[in-house]
Structure 1
Amino acid sequence: MSDTETKKHETTAGNYFVSNYPPFSFWSPDRAPEALAALERPPAPGTDLGVYLHIPFCRKRCHFCYFKVLTDVNAEQVARYVDSAIAELTAYVAKPFLGGRKPSFVYFGGGTPSYLSAKQFTDLTDRMKALLPWDAAEEIAFECEPGTVTEQKLQAIRATGVTRLSLGVENFDDHILEINGRAHKSKEIVRAYEWARAIGFPQINIDLIAGMVEETEENWLRCVARTLELSPDSVTIYQMEVPYNTGIYKQMKAEGKLVAPVADWETKRRWVKYAFSELERAGYTLGSAYTAVKDPKKTKFHYRDRLWAGADLIGLGVASFSHVGGTHFQNEHDFATYLAKVAAGSLPIYRAYTTDAEERLIREFVLQLKLGHLSAAYFQQKFGTDIRVRFAAPLHYLVQEGFASFEGDTLRLTRDALLQVDSLLHRFFLPQHQHARYA
């Protein structure tokens, strides 16, 4: 039974959020040579280039986290990791796919990029810029855990050129933060935000998660109110999911439970709907299924928008994802293996998947649906495809259910559709991808 066909759907284990297409479970190690071949080809004309660096270090591993993270590391391990990432970038810069391009966006994700000291991050970015200058970049984004920063560190981060600071707040209640494994406290959130605002970051984003372990209606209302008081440039809200490699899932498995100890989907969607309604009342505009922005003319998210329109991406670091000319690939996810491959002078590619023209069409279509609207003319011009014909059956379903409508050239989703958009996207997948494990 799908989310759209049930009145109350409990949260069970698995990936809900669709971040790419085809599903990661179809990427394989035996296709890794495809990635090496893609790097030897020049880029398609007009293709944007981005750089992503995964910083895998954290003070604690959150119970809901499914990313590759490491805790309790020392300065020597951090230094070796940074050296490896720079060695990776050095190898990429020499490849034909770069084609003389400079990145139009750079993203530091984690893990916890703000785990690095001010000096470590400054040295890292200086070395990156020397290899691949950022002077053409429209956005330098940086994820930040509030408890890992000082005012001086934030000043150093801003001085490197970071334009978009994203604070991983998740919740404002100390008990909720602690029981979900977060390392920071509410006091540190406010302190970090005030420092960042005073320093003058062009964009400050706050991340929230609806439906965390032991979260209540009253708590969620307070989180929304506190967010409005801070008045960030953008607010990103995710609905709690429980992928298979999280601490919550491991506990569920040990206890023989099928339902996760978090809010059900109906509750999470209602909470997110309330949050977005309150943000809109305060003058915000919805920018996607997950994000509200204060001023759409000033506040952009180039990393998301360029990737969802087919940009190339160099993914640096352990377990990082890349996309080059239609070939997707992921780095080694084991820390020691990643370091050993780089030390041996090899690119640390673990698995890959090369999309065909139809899969590239579907990828951009489903990802852009998450924005809440898309242009039929865009797909006609880029892929030579009339989406009304190609996706006639699933589009008919969305229209019949009151989830979508066409306004001239624009396909537009309703608010209720956006609240459950990830559960609707599978209808547009190729048959062999629809019922497969996502990750």
Structure 2
Amino acid sequence: MSAVDEIPLTHLSDKKSHHATEAGNYFVANYPPFSFWQKEQAFAVEKVLDSPAPKDIPLGLYFHIPFCRKRCHFCYFRVYTDKNASEIRRYIHAGMEEFTRYAARPYLQGRKPHFVYFGGGTPSYLSVPQLQELTSRMKDLMPWDECQEVAFEAEPGTLNEKKLEAIREIGVTRLSLGVEHFEDHILESNGRAHRSGEIDRAYRFARSLGFEHINIDLIAGMMNDTTELWQKAVAKAVEMQPDCVTIYQMEVPYNTGIYKQMKEEGKVTAPVADWETKRAWVSYAFDEFVKAGYTVTSAYTVVKNPDKIKFVYRDALWEGADLLPLGVASFGHLGGIHLQNQADILPYIDTIEKGGSAIFRAYATSPEERFIREFILKLKLGHSRPSYYKAKFGEDVLTRFAPQLNWMVQEGFAVIGDDQITLTRDGLLQVDRLLHEFFMPHHRHARYT
């Protein structure tokens, strides 16, 4: 019996119950949990960087741009709203110095990125000259001519025609608009900086520029949302006809403004929709998009043309691609080692300027952990082929995870057929809570971050 099967299933909770949203991370972004990553393991990254460059592992670049006009009440990322142009320029210079050092290491030397991702914060907060300087320096170090995707997150209120043209000219192929909702009252009460009119203007002009892939983000269950307002938001999104829509269920991690207020008021339950309501709202959205010709391609996405529109960053990362993290608090994965940079901007910049490594913590994964990581992350796509894992990892998932999979089938979360594990709609809508069943015993019930 494997280590994963040595303790009984938690069985979570009754799938039909109304669960209030409490503080903590819900979304499973990686494995093992971040709380197991340690400063002491940073040396493992150095060993990888001194090893020869692999020939068969795709490489991605992630650059974190931590600046925003405003901090959303539900935001848990490392962001700053008080930095001036000179401070931003200093940060960009530090990031490029970090990149320069990485590019010269044996493991990365001469490799070209398969994909590039600009995340935040708000990448579109940067001015046109700042964007041009940043990207030109990145291309000098690692040319983008063989990139399959350059993804860029944007807040609608930071976009104008000149900036969108610049974003297109630097090579962005996937523009992701952080819309979240279309109702101004919802946007305002949740701390969003933009309003509905800015969404319309930014989207119309972005569409006219011929971006290969425009995604819009929505969040189900924001503070003060209602079924009626959510349905109106879905209708508006369908009317816009974006290439892809990503729909998240509202969570309240510990380092958010909402949690801070909950703590001050002594509350356990967050002032957002409960989990059953959020799942019902996402299911409604899926149905409306399917009626409009879209395809549900994961627990969070609907795509207009799945044969043409891909999310290279997600798919490559879930399959074990290398991801070089650049910038404050950024996460990455190199040669089987998870790593995260220094979490605060001034220590990050100071460390780089003094010639030090910005790596804050790391985790050297075992072959078993890499197998579990890929299995659970790709299960978010809603389907899984056991033969794939047998060929890649030598693992029979139907045997290895028999108790977990049988329980999911009994509960109506999954169906198992000929070389296919398929999540039902009910299972897909709550896949993140189900994934913990596949964790190794010592990783269960631990704090995720």
TM-score bin, normalised by smaller chain: over 0.9
Gaps of 5+ in 1: none
Q: SS of the counterpart of 1:97?
A: coil
- Indicate conservation of the 8 Å contact 1:141/1:165, yes or no: yes
Q: SS of the counterpart of 2:223?
A: coil
Once residues 375 and 122 of structure 1 are traced to their aligned partners in structure 2, the CA distance between those partners, rounded to angstroms, is 43
The residue type paired with residue 390 of structure 1 is R
Alignment-derived partner of residue 334 in structure 2 = 324
Once residues 152 and 275 of structure 2 are traced to their aligned partners in structure 1, the CA distance between those partners, rounded to angstroms, is 29
Q: What is the CA-CA distance between 1:347 and the residue it aligns to?
A: 2.1
> Alignment partner for residue 105 of structure 1, among 115, 131, 137?
115
The residue type paired with residue 15 of structure 1 is N
- Indicate conservation of the 8 Å contact 1:91/1:347, yes or no: no
Matched, 1:143 2:153: yes
The residue type paired with residue 258 of structure 1 is V
The residue type paired with residue 256 of structure 1 is G
Q: SS of the counterpart of 1:406?
A: strand
Matched, 1:87 2:101: no
> Alignment partner for residue 347 of structure 2, among 323, 328, 337?
337
Q: What is the CA-CA distance between 1:42 and the residue it aligns to?
A: 2.6
- Indicate conservation of the 8 Å contact 1:9/1:266, yes or no: yes
State the Cα deviation string for residues 283-308 of structure 1 (Å, max 9, x = none): 00011100000000111000000000
Matched, 1:161 2:161: no
> Alignment partner for residue 241 of structure 1, among 251, 268, 271?
251
Alignment-derived partner of residue 85 in structure 2 = 75
Q: What is the CA-CA distance between 1:45 and the residue it aligns to?
A: 3.8
Aligned ranges for residues 208-357 of structure 1 at < 5 Å?
208-357=218-367
Q: What is the CA-CA distance between 1:364 and the residue it aligns to?
A: 0.3
> Alignment partner for residue 403 of structure 1, among 413, 422, 439?
413
> Alignment partner for residue 180 of structure 1, among 166, 175, 190?
190
- Indicate conservation of the 8 Å contact 1:50/1:311, yes or no: yes
The residue type paired with residue 119 of structure 2 is G
- Indicate conservation of the 8 Å contact 1:13/1:244, yes or no: yes
Alignment-derived partner of residue 423 in structure 2 = 413
Q: What is the CA-CA distance between 1:378 and the residue it aligns to?
A: 1.5
Once residues 82 and 30 of structure 1 are traced to their aligned partners in structure 2, the CA distance between those partners, rounded to angstroms, is 28
Once residues 276 and 99 of structure 1 are traced to their aligned partners in structure 2, the CA distance between those partners, rounded to angstroms, is 44
State the Cα deviation string for residues 21-65 of structure 1 (Å, max 9, x = none): 000000011211122222222344411100000000000000000
State the Cα deviation string for residues 327-385 of structure 1 (Å, max 9, x = none): 00100001111001100112200001001011000000000000111221211111111
Change (3 A) 1:216 1:3: farther
Alignment-derived partner of residue 404 in structure 2 = 394
Q: Greater shift after overlay, 261-270 or 377-386?
A: 377-386
Q: Greater shift after overlay, 406-415 or 197-206?
A: 406-415
- Indicate conservation of the 8 Å contact 2:113/2:146, yes or no: yes
Alignment-derived partner of residue 73 in structure 2 = 63
Q: SS of the counterpart of 1:329?
A: strand
Once residues 9 and 3 of structure 1 are traced to their aligned partners in structure 2, the CA distance between those partners, rounded to angstroms, is 9
Alignment-derived partner of residue 15 in structure 1 = 25
State the Cα deviation string for residues 129-165 of structure 1 (Å, max 9, x = none): 0000011100000000000011111001000010000
Matched, 1:437 2:437: no
Change (3 A) 1:125 1:211: same
Once residues 126 and 229 of structure 2 are traced to their aligned partners in structure 1, the CA distance between those partners, rounded to angstroms, is 32
- Indicate conservation of the 8 Å contact 1:43/1:325, yes or no: no
Q: SS of the counterpart of 2:107?
A: helix
The residue type paired with residue 342 of structure 1 is I
Once residues 20 and 34 of structure 1 are traced to their aligned partners in structure 2, the CA distance between those partners, rounded to angstroms, is 18
Gaps of 5+ in 2: 1-10
The residue type paired with residue 115 of structure 2 is F
- Indicate conservation of the 8 Å contact 2:16/2:276, yes or no: no
State the Cα deviation string for residues 61-93 of structure 1 (Å, max 9, x = none): 000000000002110011001111111111111
Q: Greater shift after overlay, 12-21 or 405-414?
A: 405-414
Change (3 A) 1:128 1:39: same
Once residues 228 and 411 of structure 2 are traced to their aligned partners in structure 1, the CA distance between those partners, rounded to angstroms, is 32
Once residues 261 and 153 of structure 2 are traced to their aligned partners in structure 1, the CA distance between those partners, rounded to angstroms, is 28
**What TM-score do you get using the length of structure 1 for normalisation?**
0.98
Q: Greater shift after overlay, 119-128 or 41-50?
A: 41-50
Q: Could you say what the CA RMSD is over the residues aligned between the two structures, in angstroms?
A: 1.0
Q: SS of the counterpart of 1:229?
A: helix
- Indicate conservation of the 8 Å contact 2:103/2:109, yes or no: no
**What TM-score do you get using the length of structure 2 for normalisation?**
0.96
Q: SS of the counterpart of 1:50?
A: strand
Q: What is the CA-CA distance between 1:4 and the residue it aligns to?
A: 4.5
Once residues 400 and 212 of structure 2 are traced to their aligned partners in structure 1, the CA distance between those partners, rounded to angstroms, is 41
Once residues 267 and 52 of structure 2 are traced to their aligned partners in structure 1, the CA distance between those partners, rounded to angstroms, is 50
The residue type paired with residue 165 of structure 1 is L
Once residues 261 and 221 of structure 1 are traced to their aligned partners in structure 2, the CA distance between those partners, rounded to angstroms, is 20
- Indicate conservation of the 8 Å contact 1:318/1:334, yes or no: yes
Alignment-derived partner of residue 171 in structure 1 = 181
- Indicate conservation of the 8 Å contact 1:35/1:352, yes or no: yes
Matched, 1:41 2:51: yes
- Indicate conservation of the 8 Å contact 1:3/1:9, yes or no: no
- Indicate conservation of the 8 Å contact 2:252/2:259, yes or no: yes
